[in-house]
Copies of this chain bind each other. A is one copy, B any other.
Amino acid sequence: MLTISRLAAYAGVTVRAVRHYHRIGLLPEPARDRSGYRTYDAVAVVRLIRIRTLADAGVPLARVQELLDAGTKEFAGGVQEIDKALRAEIRRLQDTRGRLARLAAGEHLALPQSVVDYLDRLRGLGVEERYIEMERDAWIMIAAQVPHSIDAVIAKKHEELDDPDTVRLYSLLSGALDWPADDPRIVEVADIMERLMVRAMEAGEVGADDGIDDQFVDLLDSAMVESSPHAARLLAILEERGWKGWTRIERVPADRLNTEPPPS
């Protein structure tokens, strides 16, 4: 007969595990010798190895018990199911390896590929990294809010970049981070924006539902205002000309201009 440690060593488990299996009734308590030691036979070895094989496959011990005490047919079915789960787990781990590699490479796992491509395009246009980081954070927030429509939104932004005016706009905005507070070029920015807005209105693109809720639009706008001292001035200029907003543009009717107090 075997002692508990021989049994455990042969089956490749710890003594503690064997005792655990006894407590939960997975492995029957064997006879004891006169000093109280457990004495095991070959049947216990076979059962323990079957337990380990299933447990190593990630099967919960309760399920292991069901399977080992079930008929041949149910057992075969269960094993097939376990094997399927095992294949899935292997695929998941391979997938995780891929994500890990991308994480190590510094890729932005927080963003869908479409957004990453868009940011790369901006980078290619010479937009400064500081500005791109601001954009990136905004996109992360947008993607988190409306994960289902992010690709459509990005597609529209890509179209906009086909317009040389938009390219010029980004080029100006990127540099603006270093402008002095009263730099006159901000007026040029406003001019370009107004041209773009007019064209967008004519194309019927303004006021279209983008699926982003109003509060969130306000939030992105205020984040923009906080990002640079020029931002508030730019919005003020545009508002004088009858435009409102940044993330989402609105035309303000002339009679409502300046009837509301300025934002705090």
Q: What residues on B are CB-neighbors of A79 within 8 Å?
A: 100, 103-104
A69 CB, min distance to chain B CBs, angstroms? 15
Number of interface residues of A (CB under 8 A): 51
8 A Cβ contacts from A87-121 to B:
87, 89-90, 92-94, 96-97, 99-101, 103-104, 108-110
Q: What residues on B are CB-neighbors of A86 within 8 Å?
A: 93, 96-97, 100
Q: Is the CB of B10 within 8 A of A109?
A: no
Q: Is the CB of B46 within 8 A of A100?
A: no
Which of A49-57, A122-130, A185-193, A254-262 lies at the binding interface?
A49-57
Residue in B closest to A2 when the chains form the complex, CB atoms = B144
Q: Is the CB of B93 within 8 A of A90?
A: yes
8 A Cβ contacts from A37-72 to B:
41-43, 45-46, 49-50, 53-54, 56-57
Query: Besides A7-B144, A45-B141, 14 other CB < 8 A contacts?
Result: A2-B145, A45-B140, A46-B108, A49-B109, A53-B99, A54-B100, A56-B92, A56-B96, A75-B104, A79-B104, A83-B101, A86-B93, A86-B97, A93-B93
Q: What residues on B are CB-neighbors of A141 within 8 Å?
A: 1-2, 41-42, 45
Residue in B closest to A93 when the chains form the complex, CB atoms = B90
User: Complex formed: what's the CA distance from A97 to B141 in Å?
Assistant: 42
Q: Does A147 count as interface, using CB distance less than 8 angstroms?
A: yes
Q: Does A196 count as interface, using CB distance less than 8 angstroms?
A: no
User: Complex formed: what's the CA distance from A28 to B208 in Å?
Assistant: 37
Q: Is the CB of B93 within 8 A of A10?
A: no
A160 CB, min distance to chain B CBs, angstroms? 22
Residue in B closest to A133 when the chains form the complex, CB atoms = B42
22 residue pairs of the A-B complex, CB under 8 angstroms, read A1-B141, A2-B144, A6-B145, A7-B144, A9-B147, A11-B110, A41-B137, A42-B137, A45-B141, A53-B103, A56-B92, A56-B96, A56-B99, A57-B93, A57-B97, A76-B104, A79-B100, A83-B100, A83-B101, A87-B97, A89-B93, A90-B90
